[in-house]
Amino acid sequence: MTDIQRCSELLLPAGSLEKLKIAVLYGADAVYLGTPDLSLRTKSEFTLEEVVEGVEFAHKYGKRVYLTLNLFSHNKDIDKLPDYVDTVRKVQPDGLIVADPGVFMFVKERAPELDLHVSTQANICSWQSVKFWQDQGASLCVLGREVSFNELTEIREKCPNIKLEAFIHGAMCMTYSGRCLLSNFMAERGANQGACANSCRWKYKVHMRLKDGTSKELPLTEENLELFEFLLEEEIRPGEFMPIEEDDRGSYILNSKDLCIMPKLDDLLRIGVDSLKVEGRGKSIYYVALVARAYRMAIDDWYNDPENWSAEDYMDELLTIPNRGYTYAFHEGRLTNHSHGYENTATLGAWEYAGIVQSVGDDAFIIEGKNKLEASDVLEFVPPNDRDTILLRLYEFEHAKTGEIRSVINGGHDPYFRVPFAVFDQEDLTTLKERIPPMTVLRKERSLTEVQWDRIKLDAETHAIEAGKGSVQAYTNKRDRLRESQALRDTSLKVKTPRIGMEGCCGKGCNGCLMFWHDPSYARARELLAKKKQGELFDQNMKDKPADKISA
């Protein structure tokens, strides 16, 4: 073991009670969570009763729980604070994450026994800011993603008596630690109240305006492609033209790749960063389990043998999780062009969430399928307490209740099937139940299109370049190959969610939705929501329903 006394904790997101349990079982030292009305995640699935249950579950396993109260409050939020804080203090969380100075002051006066953590939303990027919050009574500061490792090292040296938290993995925001108005303007969804529409990840197309006042899209064909080039010129840089590249899918000029500090994790462990934070309260159970498992193994192995530690095996694990391509972001100080995802905005991985063990019987596992499974698929059981995974090829699926034999399982449609212990003929059956407990996650390899494989190859090359191992020429070749395959792909698929752009309000009462909170047509709904328990939203889509017909 190293002689460092300040051990880093692994902090995972929990967007629901089930995700909290998964995070704890798969190695998190701590989790952070909140109800959707007063934290920065409108899709959070916690009620206050589930928060209580989640805290009790984590504490049973000796893990810590931090609750989020990190919205920037509007007047309508203030009346909720007393009831929220009085309820929260009863369950004794290990910390309360706050961003708004007014909320910080209120909690400090109302519940002085609670440890206060200052959210990344507070934009803490210097040791002076850390000292300010320490003087106000904060016990931990979450540093902005913009902080470089050299800056973090100096902050650690100048602020030894307060805990520091840094992001190590997850989605990146293209603005200052999430302080963004783009979503408010383009979709009437408040980013700083948890309802960001991710406007920066939309695709944008170039149009030209004719002198008669009409605007038309300019289709680029083989005949005219070489005739046009679209350039931006910034006011105080006359003559310095910046090209805008676009293909038939549009342009992703604000889209960031995902943060992944795994190859540099030893830097943070060496200087004693107290909490290593993974982003993703809106992510899947599969994401929570696999990210927790990879970083748990990496952290433990570094503490056991820091001199011989290498990130390669853990990176292989993280590549099984859908991502936008990985980047070190600001770790080295300067951001490279490889941190941006110009080619594509979708998350993608060569593996996918196959299922989860719902229960363990006397002679079989009951599995809930999470994606389409077909006869002869190889399922990989990824246990929470075992570094070795278990592979199993299934040639048929036995329905959990009827015993009917099926060749296909579809996630979401009667997806439960039985897997007898006897089919694990290459495993030690005496320890099988212990190795594969309930809530064990399963994965399987995906069948990818040519476009998707080209995207994955390009992502791998850009990550290698950041690590000093890649080739600019190889990157250029793979980028061009992706563009060629994308130009040939089928573009007939349509987005089916109402939560993008201006299509409308889902009607659930999300805290940051300006349409719900200010549109007269939702007046009756707002009255009804005020009578519901904190954290409880409407569970039906009320878009386009008359306000007087909306019921709780």
Q: Give pLDDT tens digits for 413-431.
A: 889 999 999 999 888 899 9
Rounded Cα distance between 224 and 203, Å, is: 22
Of the residues 293, 316, 339, the one at which a domain ends: 339
The pLDDT value given to residue 116: 97
- Do both 17 and 144 map to the same domain? yes
| Cβ contact 273:152 at 8 Å | yes
Of the residues 339, 361, 393, the one at which a domain ends: 339
Give the model confidence (pLDDT) of 95-141 as tens digits.
Answer: 999 999 999 999 999 999 999 999 998 989 999 999 999 999 999 99
pLDDT > 70 fraction of the chain, expressed in percent and rounded: 76
| Highest mean pLDDT (candidates 166-170, 341-345, 485-489) | 166-170
Residue 359 Ramachandran class (φ > 0 left, ψ -120 to 50 alpha, else beta): beta
- Do both 440 and 454 map to the same domain? no
Q: DSSP code of 140? A: E
| CA-closest candidate to residue 472, choices 327, 350, 336 | 336
- Do both 430 and 482 map to the same domain? no
Range of the domain at 520: 514-549
Strand boundaries in 336-389, DSSP class E = 351-360, 364-369, 373-374, 378-382
State yes or no: pLDDT of 454 exceeds 70.
Answer: yes
Contacts (Cβ under 8 Å, ≥6 apart) of 475: 338, 458, 461, 462, 465
- Do both 97 and 43 map to the same domain? yes
Nearest 10 degrees: CA dihedral of 90, 93, 97, 101?
40
Amino acid identity of residue 288, one-letter, is V
- Do both 135 and 274 map to the same domain? yes
CATH code where residue 106 lies: 3.20.20.70
The pLDDT value given to residue 235: 64
Q: Does some domain include residue 127?
A: yes
**Block residue for tokens 């296909």:** 408
What value does the mean pLDDT take over residues 332-339? 72
Q: Does some domain include residue 215?
A: no
Sheet order of strands, 364-369 included = 390-393, 378-382, 441-445, 351-360, 364-369, 416-420, 397-399, 405-406
What value does the mean pLDDT take over residues 432-442? 96
The pLDDT value given to residue 159: 97
- Do both 461 and 437 map to the same domain? no
State yes or no: pLDDT of 281 exceeds 50.
Answer: yes
| CA-closest candidate to residue 444, choices 503, 500, 369 | 369
Q: Does some domain include residue 199?
A: no
Q: What is the largest CA-CA distance in the chain?
A: 80
What value does the mean pLDDT take over residues 292-309? 97
Distance of CA 429 to the CA centre of its chain: 36
Residue 541 banded pLDDT, cuts 50, 70, 90: very low
The pLDDT value given to residue 72: 83
CATH code where residue 383 lies: 2.40.30.10
Residue 190 banded pLDDT, cuts 50, 70, 90: confident
Rounded Cα distance between 354 and 369, Å, is: 6
| CA-closest candidate to residue 438, choices 381, 377, 353 | 381
- Do both 525 and 416 map to the same domain? no
| Cβ contact 269:298 at 8 Å | no
Give the model confidence (pLDDT) of 211-220 as tens digits.
Answer: 666 666 666 6
Rounded Cα distance between 549 and 541, Å, is: 12
- Do both 128 and 13 map to the same domain? yes
- Do both 85 and 30 map to the same domain? yes
State yes or no: pLDDT of 207 exceeds 80.
Answer: no
Mean pLDDT of the chain: 83
The pLDDT value given to residue 496: 39
| Cβ contact 255:326 at 8 Å | no
Q: Look up residue 294 and give its two tokens.
A: 């990879």
Q: Does some domain include residue 240?
A: no
The pLDDT value given to residue 342: 60
| Cβ contact 519:507 at 8 Å | no
Residue 233 banded pLDDT, cuts 50, 70, 90: low
Least confident of 279-288, 488-497, 523-532: 488-497
**Block residue for tokens 């008359």:** 546
The pLDDT value given to residue 214: 67
What value does the mean pLDDT take over residues 171-176? 73
Of the residues 445, 472, 505, the one at which a domain ends: 445
The pLDDT value given to residue 542: 43
| Cβ contact 305:1 at 8 Å | no
Number of domains in the chain: 4
334-372 b/e with 16+ CB inside 10 Å = b?
ebeebbbbebbbeebbebbbbbbbeebeeebbbbbbbbb
What value does the mean pLDDT take over residues 303-307? 96
What value does the mean pLDDT take over residues 176-199? 70
| Cβ contact 255:278 at 8 Å | no
- Pick 215 or 7 by higher pLDDT: 7
What value does the mean pLDDT take over residues 494-521? 65
Q: Does some domain include residue 364?
A: yes
- Do both 61 and 142 map to the same domain? yes
Residue 198 Ramachandran class (φ > 0 left, ψ -120 to 50 alpha, else beta): left
| Cβ contact 88:111 at 8 Å | yes
- Do both 422 and 542 map to the same domain? no
| Cβ contact 541:506 at 8 Å | yes
The pLDDT value given to residue 186: 72
Give the model confidence (pLDDT) of 128-164 as tens digits.
Answer: 999 999 999 999 999 998 899 999 999 999 999 999 9
Q: Does some domain include residue 520?
A: yes
- Do both 160 and 285 map to the same domain? yes
> What phi, psi does 348 have (nearest 5°)?
-155, 140
The pLDDT value given to residue 341: 66
Q: Does some domain include residue 144?
A: yes
Q: Does some domain include residue 192?
A: no
Amino acid identity of residue 261, one-letter, is I
State yes or no: pLDDT of 36 exceeds 60.
Answer: no
Q: Look up residue 86 and give its two tokens.
A: 């009085």
pTM of the model: 0.81
